[in-house]
A and B are shown apart, each in its own frame.
Chain A
């Protein structure tokens, strides 16, 4: 298998620059997910790696070799498309065998490799069917099978699960993770779904506006979002962001006061902060508790009872700021009511006016 390096990759379509100086090093056997909103450049970046688009500048290095100008077949990559890109007139067998037929692989070896891929993907009894006779999940597996038979150095996936329904998507996530473990392959996966990114990735690249916002393990991104964008994008429901004023700065202790008058001292790196700064204090809904007196009063507008938890959506009283809390399933709260909520200062994230985080000093140990 292989390493992949992107060195100073840029891409422009005419005047519009869609990829800005991307530098990235992906390790051997790593499962890396590119995640970001629509139009952030994640699919373009994947297509540049595949050789379907050329970069405006920069190098793509696979296994130490510059392949920026190489044909896709010479890069040792294979790609699974969002639409599956199965040939409707060919059987499942012929679809999987297609790359081998292009390479004029000997008949016996071709058959052996197709059967092995079909076995891995549980498609052995579907080999004579046409793609139109398969379910969405089965089609996706055929597309993956077409990638597997080539024994590529790197697998590329372009939003492969986005056409599936929610239940099937969950199953396929597990299957893909299992496949990654079985094949021990380097995989690059593009999605706009942060749940897919969190559940499958060894490391996640969060892209926004053609730039890398952060590159790290799922739990690093969750506990240490580098920017307000990452904080808002990773985590479900989204992180709450409350505007506040810095009222006191001590070594490692930042005192802030919310517009409601509620004040707290947060343990963060204060080296760039000063009194009077406007900051945003981020708190994840799952770190919010049914509160004691003196907390935030939140007016609940919508309540979602999910059984184990209740998600309360509302706004902070005396302020227009939206607020979301993930509370115990049997919490005695009602829509239209007001509830006092609280949270621990060490669970808070503080973002400066440049949207970058003031590093937290007291955090839970980050797993991988």
Chain B
């Protein structure tokens, strides 16, 4: 009988003899998979790009050239112009996206009839593939069968077909319009979500205290959504800085470099002309500029969170 009972009793485990990994080793084991992939897809390409930037790598081979690529860049006036153009492109586009997004979110957050439908209608520019959206804009900008040129002629603004993408200034601002068209819906939806998170009681309390619509927007809505607004500005800035498809599909950086931003320039040099070394140097400049920009931005984000946050 006692043997039968013994067979059903689980063997005792001596916990004191169990092997325990040192805490540090266990922690490294936990982060190892993520670390492996980060090294593979982020760190290694970055290091390789930096290495390439010190070479004259082409299809045929590569030689170490020191800082020659960087020296060429910093003495190239066209490259300086590209940097200025890129920042102008970024600030103008992001500014418009934020302003339009703020207006759109405010309207969609208001108690207007059919706002559910309007919220759905905001989505398409963001949802449809960029290439398809850009093809639509190519047609709109076309001088001979494009809607915009046709309307300009009918209203008497021009008396001949106007190719929006064939002139330096109009091409740049046309690309901006398309970029804003693609980027605004996401900003709108994020700001709308932030606005919907603001307690209704705050508005009612202000209403009882006599605050008008504009005062409530300025003193309640804007401060309450400020952390989201600033975060969106940073993300949008990085995406716009690196925006490639829209420019490439519309103008390929032309006419005469009028829409060539840093990322387009890098692509042209590295992939178009097979000058991998020079392209890598440009890529390193982009990473450095964005890193500095992000650090400055994060500094301000921290300040904004401190000022407008709850604590």
A220-264 at interface with B (beta carbon < 8 Å)? none
A29-74 at interface with B (beta carbon < 8 Å)? 50-52, 71-73
Q: Complex: how many Å from CA A73 to CA B201? A: 16
| Least Cβ–Cβ distance between B252 and chain A, in angstroms | 46
Contact check, A85 vs B210: say whether CB atoms are below 8 A apart.
no
Contact check, A85 vs B308: say whether CB atoms are below 8 A apart.
no
Would you give the 0/1 interface string for B140-156, flagging 1 where the beta carbon is closer than 8 Å to chain A? 00000000000000000
For residue B309, CB closer than 8 A to chain A, the reply is yes
Q: How many residues of A contact B (CB 8 A)?
A: 28
For residue B206, CB closer than 8 A to chain A, the reply is yes
Instruction: Point out the residue from B208, B219, B226, B311 that lies within 8 Å of A132, measured CB to CB.
Output: B311
Contact check, B310 vs A52: say whether CB atoms are below 8 A apart.
no
Contact check, A102 vs B204: say whether CB atoms are below 8 A apart.
no
**A81-B201, A81-B204, A83-B199 as given contacts; A89 in contact with B209, CB under 8 Å:** no
Contact check, B210 vs A103: say whether CB atoms are below 8 A apart.
yes
| Least Cβ–Cβ distance between A157 and chain B, in angstroms | 13
Tell me which of A77, A78, A85, A90 has the highest count of chain B C-beta atoms within 10 A of its own C-beta.
A85
For A99, list chain B residues within 8 Å (CB).
Answer: 209-210
Would you give the 0/1 interface string for A80-94, flagging 1 where the beta carbon is closer than 8 Å to chain B? 011111011110000
For B199, list chain A residues within 8 Å (CB).
Answer: 83, 85
Q: Is the interface of B mostly helix, strand, loop or mixed?
A: helix
Contact check, B208 vs A51: say whether CB atoms are below 8 A apart.
yes
For A87, list chain B residues within 8 Å (CB).
Answer: 202, 219-220, 223
Contact check, B208 vs A77: say whether CB atoms are below 8 A apart.
yes
Contact check, A98 vs B208: say whether CB atoms are below 8 A apart.
no
For residue A130, CB closer than 8 A to chain B, the reply is yes
For B215, list chain A residues within 8 Å (CB).
Answer: 102
Contact check, B310 vs A131: say whether CB atoms are below 8 A apart.
yes
For B224, list chain A residues within 8 Å (CB).
Answer: 88-89
Contact check, A72 vs B207: say whether CB atoms are below 8 A apart.
yes
Contact check, B310 vs A88: say whether CB atoms are below 8 A apart.
yes
For residue B31, CB closer than 8 A to chain A, the reply is no
| Least Cβ–Cβ distance between A22 and chain B, in angstroms | 21
B201-233 at interface with A (beta carbon < 8 Å)? 201-202, 204-211, 215, 219-220, 223-224, 226
| Least Cβ–Cβ distance between A73 and chain B, in angstroms | 3
Contact check, A85 vs B309: say whether CB atoms are below 8 A apart.
no
Instruction: Point out the residue from B201, B211, B311 that lies within 8 Å of A85, measured CB to CB.
Output: B201
Instruction: Point out the residue from A50, A51, A73, A89 that lies within 8 Å of B309, measured CB to CB.
Output: A89
B296-311 at interface with A (beta carbon < 8 Å)? 307-311
Contact check, A98 vs B310: say whether CB atoms are below 8 A apart.
no
Contact check, A79 vs B206: say whether CB atoms are below 8 A apart.
no
For B202, list chain A residues within 8 Å (CB).
Answer: 85, 87
Instruction: Point out the residue from B209, B223, B311 that lies within 8 Å of A102, measured CB to CB.
Output: B209
For B223, list chain A residues within 8 Å (CB).
Answer: 87, 89-90
For A12, list chain B residues within 8 Å (CB).
Answer: none
Contact check, B206 vs A50: say whether CB atoms are below 8 A apart.
no
For B206, list chain A residues within 8 Å (CB).
Answer: 98, 102
For A83, list chain B residues within 8 Å (CB).
Answer: 199, 201
For residue A133, CB closer than 8 A to chain B, the reply is yes
Q: Complex: how many Å from CA A73 to CA B310? A: 27
Tell me which of A78, A90, A102 has the highest count of chain B C-beta atoms within 10 A of its own C-beta.
A102
Would you give the 0/1 interface string for B279-311, flagging 1 where the beta carbon is closer than 8 Å to chain A? 000000000000000000000000000011111
Contact check, B209 vs A88: say whether CB atoms are below 8 A apart.
no
For A82, list chain B residues within 8 Å (CB).
Answer: 201
For A349, list chain B residues within 8 Å (CB).
Answer: none
Would you give the 0/1 interface string for A128-151, flagging 1 where the beta carbon is closer than 8 Å to chain B? 001111000000000000100010
Instruction: List the interface of chain A (C-beta within 8 A of B).
Output: 50-52, 71-73, 77-79, 81-85, 87-90, 98-99, 102-103, 130-133, 146, 150
Q: Beyond the given A73-B208, A79-B208, could you list 14 further A-B residue pairs with CB under 8 A, ordered by the A residue number?
A: A51-B208, A52-B207, A52-B208, A72-B208, A78-B208, A85-B202, A85-B204, A88-B309, A89-B307, A99-B209, A130-B311, A131-B310, A132-B309, A146-B205
A–B Cβ pairs within 8 angstroms, 13 of them: A71-B210, A72-B207, A73-B210, A78-B208, A82-B201, A83-B201, A88-B309, A89-B224, A89-B309, A98-B219, A99-B210, A130-B310, A146-B205
